[in-house]
């Protein structure tokens, strides 16, 4: 999970701030004219888009998934909302409602954020075979050799706990697994071997 301080740091990058503000302006104007949310918290909402997408993979969000999403959103909020309505949690309700219309725009901002946070192009391998057998030891080495910020993005998008990135096998529904691959492609992670290896650590279930 990203901390609010890491969110603040990324929002200091002009290109990320500009893309976030433009999407925030469009989203509020067209969907929630009365929504009040700071730019940093709206970027936190953008960061929630992959997690929301996976939760919606089977067409609906269960109570358990809703509670998990709310908990994650609160961690990303700028803070000071213990006794008040959390702006990221509140805004996320509208993102869920309009996800099909806005998901690609949210993913585009995430792509910008990653490209501006580390040298993504240098890590891409066009000829990497995602079906190739890779040992657990190779996967762990790939994680350790990857930029810290890249691992933070992957864990923030697709895991509840950062430490799980080294875990060998996890259970995931087939629909959620396919959605994860789709999101990875939309934001450009699919060209990175560490992401492909990460996806292969999941055991799919019906």
Instruction: Please state, for a pLDDT cut of 90, what percent of the chain lies above it.
Output: 64
With vertex at residue 153, the alpha carbon angle to CA 147 and CA 154, rounded to the nearest 5 degrees, is 95
What was the pLDDT predicted at 152? 93
Mean pLDDT of 39-58: 95
pTM, rounded to two decimals: 0.92
Whether 202 has a pLDDT exceeding 80, the answer reads yes
Q: What is the pLDDT of residue 83?
A: 46
User: Rounded distance, CA 99 to CA 57, Å?
Assistant: 11
Range with the poorest average pLDDT among 71-80, 116-125, 139-148, 176-185:
71-80
* DSSP conformation class of 13: S
pLDDT at 79: 63
Q: Kind and range of the H or E element at 205? A: strand 202-205
- Indicate the pLDDT class of residue 206, thresholds 50, 70 and 90: low
Rounded distance between C-alpha atoms, residue 100 and residue 68, angstroms: 21
Half-sphere exposure of 160 (CA within 13 A, CB side): 8
Q: What is the pLDDT of residue 163?
A: 60
Spatial CB neighbours of 192, under 8 Å, sequence gap ≥ 6:
120, 123, 124, 125, 150
Question: Between these two residues, 187 and 165, which has the higher pLDDT value?
Answer: 187
HSE at residue 30, side-chain half, CA atoms within 13 A, is: 11
How far apart, in whole angstroms, are the C-alpha atoms of residue 88 and residue 41? 6
pLDDT at 186 > cutoff 50: yes
Cα separation, 108 vs 114, in Å, equals 10
Q: Give residue 126's pLDDT.
A: 65
Q: What is the pLDDT of residue 182?
A: 96
């Amino acid at each position: 999970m990203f901390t609010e301080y890491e969110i603040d740091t990324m929002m200091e990058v002009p290109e990320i701030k500009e893309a976030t503000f433009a999407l925030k302006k469009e989203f509020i104007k067209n969907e929630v004219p009365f929504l009040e949310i700071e730019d940093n918290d709206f970027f936190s909402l953008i960061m929630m888009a992959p997690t929301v997408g996976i939760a919606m993979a089977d067409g609906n969000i269960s109570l358990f998934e809703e509670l998990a999403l709310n908990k994650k959103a609160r961690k990303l909020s700028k803070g000071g909302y213990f006794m008040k309505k959390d702006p990221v949690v509140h805004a996320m309700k509208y993102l869920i409602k309009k996800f099909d219309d806005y998901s690609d725009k949210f993913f585009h901002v995430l792509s910008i954020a990653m490209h501006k946070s580390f040298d993504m192009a240098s890590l891409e391998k066009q000829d990497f075979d995602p079906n190739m057998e890779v040992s657990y030891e190779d996967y762990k080495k790939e994680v350790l050799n990857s930029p810290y910020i890249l691992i933070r993005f992957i864990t923030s998008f697709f895991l509840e706990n950062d430490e799980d990135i080294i875990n060998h096998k996890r259970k995931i529904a087939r629909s959620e697994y396919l959605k994860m691959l789709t999101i990875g492609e939309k934001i450009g992670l699919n060209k990175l071997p560490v992401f492909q290896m990460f996806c292969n650590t999941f055991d799919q279930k019906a």
